[in-house]
Structure 1
Amino acid sequence: MLFVASIALFLTACSTQIGYRFADTFVEWELNKFVDLNDAQKQQVDIAITELHHWHATNELPFYAEQLQILRDKIATQSLTEADIAETYDIAIMAWQRMLTGIEPYALTLLPNLTDAQLAQIEVELAKRLAEEREELAEAVASDERQAQLRKRARKNAQNWLRRVTPVQERLLNQWSDERLPTRELWLAYTAQWHGGFLQALNERRNLKQFPTLLNQLLFNSDTLYSAELAERVAHNRELTMALMHDLYQSLTNKQRQRIVAKLDEYIEDCNELALFFEERGLD
């Protein structure tokens, strides 16, 4: 989705302070790949991005810091439970919902201003990206090689937090990768459906009754477009991943625990410093 996907990208993808501070420029680059906006639209989008960026920095980042602090303290005191991990997942989902809620009024204001020619541009770009993903999937390596790649990525991600992975942790990661169900092909089918629904909504963008309903459905109830198989696999993989997180937590050495706590301290500091920076700067 043009506006929502780009804003969501800018609000979540920037992991460093410098990247986050200049995320608005990155969003504009992404938008330019989808559609050519006129001067008036560019000004409106610029204001929207600035306001959303400021809202996220001053409202959401302090919340992230607070939640990370809770997680950090439980890891440091070795009191983290399976219920805590499940709650952390639920908190992340709620944060995502708040983000979409913040985006929705801007989308309802800006998207109806698109011309038919601009809508055609968006349709072409969405089709292009989907075709590229399908081509990439068709060229994917054999299943045993994909499994090896998944194991490698899982190990690399774990090393980023743990540094050296113990034999027990290696076994846990391999077991997770072996039991995880593939979803990429199913996600592509879902994406195609979502794109179709989005384009249908845009065709009704000037219908004051229909468009808000269609957009809201896409934003907050998109999982209704999941196939039964995708829904089952997503739920399976989620439970598998949460179990892995708890098992890895229980397997931590003292050095690994200290490393995780230190990394979380850095993230907490970044969130607080960025929130203060945007609070002091205002909407300039």
Structure 2
Amino acid sequence: MPRASIVVVVVITLLLSACSTQFGYRFADTLIEWKLNDYVSLNSQQEQSVDQAITTLHQWHATSELPYYAQQLQTLRDKIASNTLTETDLVATYEQFFIAWQRMLNAVEPHAQEMLPQLSDEQIIELIENLREKQREEEEELLEYSDSERSKRLIRRAEKNTRSWLGQVTKVQQRLINRWVVERLDTRELWLDYNQRWLNEFEKALQQRQQPEQFNNYLQQLFYNPEQWRSEELRSRVEHNQQLTLVLFYQLSETLTDRQRRRIVDKLDGYIEDMNEIAEDFSKR
């Protein structure tokens, strides 16, 4: 789903914050409100409603979802530590976090149903214009680099991410990363096309916001069935890349040195501890 509404900004920010620093997560509600100002100007009453919704979502996410994330990471951590991780385990972990994403949407969607109809015509125009401007920026960014340049950037990003988890990368691991980059299918243009389609439908939905039944049905489609606006080629490439990435993760896990394994375990321990501490603190509020 593209960054196409107040709701989506909230969802993405909270989700990413769950894997960020404690400081960033604890102030996620403030960061979200700052981000909203980039898309639409709210009046004082709307700001109060949004503030309350974000506070509610933040509290729910911290007390209900972070312990779940910590539990899933603990299972993953133990399997890595004992060198018993399988491809099936990685698939199961991916599926569990996808289910968590669905729970996030379920929590956010009622607030969208309530708040989006409160936007004026002028605010709708502002919101759509800002979203289309963001779309244009991404399209321009896509044209800045050739295919070979994008491949090099992808390799550098993959290497950076891998080093952050493994430290020094072995030659075998480097070959695995290079092969992943070569075999990965480009989806940028297809995603931009999908984002444009989704945004067009979102704009149509907003035009019906004063007709509750039609608007609610339309918004639910945008939330829970966005794949209908994705091309078959995009769906195929996304599935291919997901499978390729899961295979890469498993192959990297099979090549870990003792030092790399300890580094991963220590890093996961840090995330797990942070999530449990935050959940405990929020539960006392």
When normalised by structure 2's length, the TM-score is 0.97
- The 1-side partners of 2:46 and 2:174 are apart by 51
CA displacement at 1:9 relative to structure 2: 2.6
CA distance in 1 between partners of 2:147 and 2:244 (Å):
20
Unaligned runs of 5+ in 1: none
1:78 aligns to what?
A: 83
Aligned counterparts, 1:88-107, within 5 A: 88-107=93-112
1:62 to 54, 57, 67: 67
- Contact map agreement 1:9 1:27 (CA 8 A) in 2: no
User: Which residue is equivalent to 2:31?
Assistant: 26
SS at match of 1:13: helix
Q: 1:238 aligns with which of 242, 245, 259?
A: 242
1:188 correspondence with 2:192: yes
Q: Where does residue 268 of structure 2 map in the other structure? A: 264
Q: What runs of 5+ residues in structure 2 fail to find an aligned partner?
A: none
Q: Which residue identity lines up with residue 13 of structure 1 in the other structure?
A: L
RMSD, aligned CA? 0.8
Residues 199-225 of structure 1, C-alpha deviations (whole Å, 9 max, x = no match): 111111121111111111111111111
Structure 2 residue 138 is matched with structure 1 residue 133? yes
Partner Cα separation in structure 2 for residue 31 and residue 69 of structure 1: 34
Equivalent position of 2:9 in the other structure: 6
Residue 48 in 1 paired to residue 42 in 2?
A: no
Q: What is the Cα deviation at residue 175 of structure 1?
A: 0.3
Matches within 5 A, 1:147-158: 147-158=151-162
One-letter amino acid of the counterpart of residue 193, structure 1: R
> Displacement, 1:127?
1.1
Between the aligned partners of 2:42 and 2:179, the Cα distance in structure 1 is 49
Which amino acid in 2 is paired with 1:18?
F
Q: Partners in 1 of 2:48 and 2:265 — Cα distance? A: 43
Q: How does 1:168-179 map to 2 (within 5 A)?
A: 168-179=172-183
Number of residue-to-residue matches in the alignment: 280
Question: Within 5 A, what are the aligned runs for 1:207-222?
Answer: 207-222=211-226
How far does residue 12 in structure 1 lie from its aligned partner after superposition? 1.8
2: CA distance, partners of 1:234 / 1:12: 20
Matched to 1:216, the amino acid is Q
In structure 2, distance between residues paired with 1:278 and 1:182: 41
Moved more, 147-156 or 19-28: 147-156
- Cα deviation for residue 89 of structure 1 reads 0.9
Quick check: 1:144 aligned with 2:183?
A: no
Q: Name the SS of the counterpart of 2:212 in structure 1.
A: coil
Please give the alpha-carbon distance, in whole angstroms, between the structure 2 residues aligned to 1:117 and 1:98: 32
Q: 1:223 aligns with which of 224, 227, 230?
A: 227
Q: Distance in 2 between matches of 1:241 and 1:181?
A: 11
Residue 37 of structure 2: SS of its match in structure 1? helix
Does the Cα contact within 8 Å between 1:52 and 1:102 map onto a contact in 2?
Answer: yes
Could you tell me how far apart the structure 2 residues matched to 1:170 and 1:179 are?
14
Deviation string 1:46-86 (CA, Å, 9 cap, x unpaired) is 00000000000000000001111000001111111110101
Which range moved further: 220-229 or 3-12?
3-12
In 2, Cα distance between the equivalents of 1:53 and 1:143? 40
Residue 118 (structure 1) aligns with = 123
Specify the SS of the correspondent of 1:37.
coil
Cα deviation for residue 194 of structure 1 reads: 0.7
**TM-score, structure 1 normalization:** 0.97
Checking the alignment, whether the CA contact within 8 Å between 1:6 and 1:30 is kept in structure 2 is yes
The letter of the residue matching 2:201 is G
CA distance in 2, matches of 1:269, 1:280: 17
